[in-house]
Amino acid sequence: MTTETTIQTLHGLWPWTKDAQYAQAVRIGDTILTGGQGGFAKDGNLVSVDTAEQTRQTFRNLEAVLAQFGETLDAVAAMTVYIAEPADYEVFKQVRTGFLSHPFPASTAVGVGALLAEGMKVEIQVTAVVGGRRSRQEVTRFQPTNADCGAYPDGIHAHDPRLDPSQFCHQNYCTCRTLVSKSSETRRHPGQIKTSWTGETPSVD
């Protein structure tokens, strides 16, 4: 039996969006996805031709959208920024610090040459999490040791050109460029790794 997932939609937050054929935002579970927001005033006109002013208004509009779900910009996990003039990105960054601070959300910025509305300089779409707050806690990266990676005879490492890559049972390289296995429980190869030169097959215990 298929379970139906409810998608809540937000429409008509401002008078000029009443008849728009898109939602200002949707909520799926605890995830909020906004539509692209720009520097528009309540009357539907751009607040200014100035990039900084449009950016400030865009963030204010994002705040208004998120508030409908009881959230703030602190709940933003990722954002996509579309900028008509790539040279204006520095202006955008200066304004952004007035609305967001460390730790910043994941972000993608795209220089597009032009946006749909004439005179529009910036558009921002965000993904937020209900009840979520960005944390300064960094993701712990795996730092392999020689015991994790294994040691090849005579100092041979997995990136050595003499090794035959087609024989590797592993799926990725660790940060020290020694081959490690996909599974954290079996980072050391249990058997033989073939080589492309004659007469030698290094063994990894």
Task: Characterize the bridge pairing of strands 76-83 and 106-111.
Answer: parallel
Locate 33 and state its tokens. Answer: 């996805």
Rounded mean pLDDT of 103-117?
95
Locate 163 and state its tokens. Answer: 């090794």
> pLDDT higher for 169 or 74?
74
Mean pLDDT over all residues of the chain? Answer: 79
Q: What is the DSSP letter of 158?
A: T
Q: For the chain, list the domains and their CATH numbers.
A: 7-129 (3.30.1330.40), 141-205 (no CATH)
Per mean pLDDT, which range of 64-73, 85-94, 139-148, 194-203 is the poorest?
194-203
pLDDT at 40: 96
Whether residue 55 is predicted with pLDDT greater than 80 in this model: the reply is yes
- 61's enclosing H/E stretch is helix 51-67
Locate 64 and state its tokens. Answer: 């208004």
Tens digit of each residue's pLDDT (9 = 90 or more) over 122-154: 999 999 999 999 988 776 665 555 454 544 444
Q: Coil, strand or helix: which one is 9?
A: strand
Whether residue 20 is predicted with pLDDT greater than 70 in this model: the reply is yes
Spatial distance between the Cα atoms of 188 and 101, rounded to a whole number of angstroms: 42
Q: What is the DSSP letter of 21?
A: S
pLDDT at 174: 42
> pLDDT higher for 11 or 197?
11
Assess contact for 21 and 60: CB atoms under 8 A.
no
pLDDT at 172: 42
pLDDT at 117: 93
CB atoms within 10 A of CB 124: 24
Picking from 182, 39, 66, 64, the residue whose alpha carbon sits closest to that of residue 127 is 66
What is the residue whose two structure tokens read 């994941």? 106
Spatial distance between the Cα atoms of 162 and 99, rounded to a whole number of angstroms: 53
Per mean pLDDT, which range of 18-27, 144-153, 181-190 is the poorest?
181-190
